[in-house]
Amino acid sequence: MKNNQLSGRIKWQSPSNIALIKYWGKKGFQIPYNPSLSMTLSEARTETELIFTPKSDNREISLTYLFGGLPQSEFEKKVKSLMELLLPEMPFLADYHLEFRSWNSFPHSSGIASSASAMSALVLCLCSMEKILSGEPIPPSYDADFFRRASRLARLGSGSASRSLYGGYVIWGKTHHVPDSSDEYAIPMYFEVHPEFEQVSDTILIISSREKKVSSRAGHELMLNHPFAEPRYWQAEKNLIRIIEVLQKGDWTEFARITENEALTLHALMMTSNPGYLLLHPNTLIAIEKIVAFRDSSHVPLTFTLDAGPNIHLLYPKSSVHKVLPFIQEELANLCENQQIIYDRTGSGPIQIFGP
């Protein structure tokens, strides 16, 4: 039985993710030019609570979005446009006032992109709300179709958010090398990962928390007329096939080669777009030189990746923590803004905190 007079509360926690094979360049409606592969994080996450109450008119979306207890007009606007987009598929959204209360586990000003965790947590709340209203048995069951749909809808809010719906390693983007891969939604890893890569430490060096001069959205757009676009999409596909093999074999040397190649290519694409721009900070370069020198001298399999900004994700096996942590404290902490460092690792995906 359908019930559109219910009020309710739902809360989901959803993680951020770090791309190892980068999504950079999109077409049509949030369709990536190349497949990407990410590792889901554990500590960097968003918790979002949705309180829905029936309202009398059902013409428009009515919502409030509180972030850390305060109104966040920028994000509220983004959420509203996503909801308007979802309305034909989720017409019930116009029957309710929607109050979102959201909170990030990582500092707001850390420079860590929160759109993946925030958009995925939000969409999970909407998909749960739909389940409740559908009159399905309570508690509703969350099966593979539920997460696949949530991934597709989260993608409409932010491409990288489509990958935050699953734990471990996640692939988004159609390629004939990966069974069931799709441009519409992400899929969890379809093979057994080598024990070496089951738990990877990701220590995030906050080199600068200043807002980026050029947004990711604008960066994707600059790929449209980019002279290196075609070779880049070819390279991404090649790196994807290779990293899939590496994750199965447990080969850290090759893993480092691919992740660094992807990180440096991403920034090279920014520098060579028209107009070109730089998001790296001088301390990013100093830190990279130190990381490579430490790896060469210690033979610890430490590697790094970058997102679209100056901060560095240090990736290394759990077994090397006792060697890497002193190196970070002695050599890298001083390069970070206010010595800010976030200690993260592979995570297991979203969790419903409460619901029906």
Cis peptide before 275 (omega within 30 of 0): yes
∠ CA 210-262-123, nearest 5°, is 65
d(CA 266, CA 255): 17
Shortest separation between residue 255's beta carbon and ligand DP6, angstroms:
17
Distance CA 98, CA 186 (A): 27
CB 305 within 8 A of CB 259: yes
Closer to ligand DP6 by Cβ: residue 120 or 340: 120
Q: Which residues, including other chains, have CB under 8 Å from residue 65's CB and lie 6 or more apart? A: 71, 72, 75, 76, 79, 100, 102
Residue number with CB closer to ligand DP6 (225 or 338): 225
Nearer Cβ to ligand DP6, position 99 or 184? 184
Q: How far is the CB of 134 from ligand DP6 (least distance, A)?
A: 29
Minimum CB distance to ligand DP6, residue 218 (Å): 9
- Helices of type H across the chain: 73-86, 115-133, 144-157, 216-222, 229-249, 252-271, 282-298, 321-327
Toward ligand DP6, which CB reaches closer, 215 or 334?
215
Shortest approach of ligand DP6 to residue 165 CB, angstroms?
14
* Rounded least distance, CB 220 to ligand DP6, Å: 5
φ, ψ for residue 299 (rounded to 5)? 60, 20
Tell me the CA distances in angstroms from 79 to 57, 206, 261, 275, one per residue in order. Answer: 20, 27, 34, 30
Q: In the bound complex, what is the minimum distance in angstroms from residue 348's beta carbon to ligand DP6?
A: 19
**Edge-first strand listing for the sheet containing 341-345:** 303-306, 312-317, 200-205, 341-345
3-state per-residue secondary structure call for 93-120: HHHEEEEEEEEECCCHHHCCCCHHHHHH
* Residue nearer to ligand DP6 on the CB measure, 118 or 300: 118
- Output the smallest distance, CB 217 to ligand DP6, in A: 4
Choice between 217 and 318, CB closer to ligand DP6 = 217
Residues lying near ligand DP6 in the complex (CB under 6 A) are found at: 19, 22-24, 30, 36, 113, 115, 158-160, 216-217, 220, 266, 307-308
The residue among 140 and 159 lying less far from ligand DP6, judged by its C-beta, is 159
**Residue 150, C-beta contacts closer than 8 angstroms, at least 6 positions apart:** 120, 123, 124, 127, 165
Q: Based on CB atoms, which residue is closest to ligand DP6, 9 or 242?
A: 242
d(CA 5, CA 124): 21
Q: Distances from the Cα of 320 to the Cαs of 21, 290, 297, 301, 302, in angstroms?
A: 23, 17, 14, 8, 8
> At closest approach, how far in Å is the CB of 234 from ligand DP6?
17
Closest distance of CB 115 from ligand DP6, Å: 5
The answer to whether 22 and 235 have CB atoms below 8 angstroms apart is no
Residue 48 or 216 with smaller CB distance to ligand DP6: 216
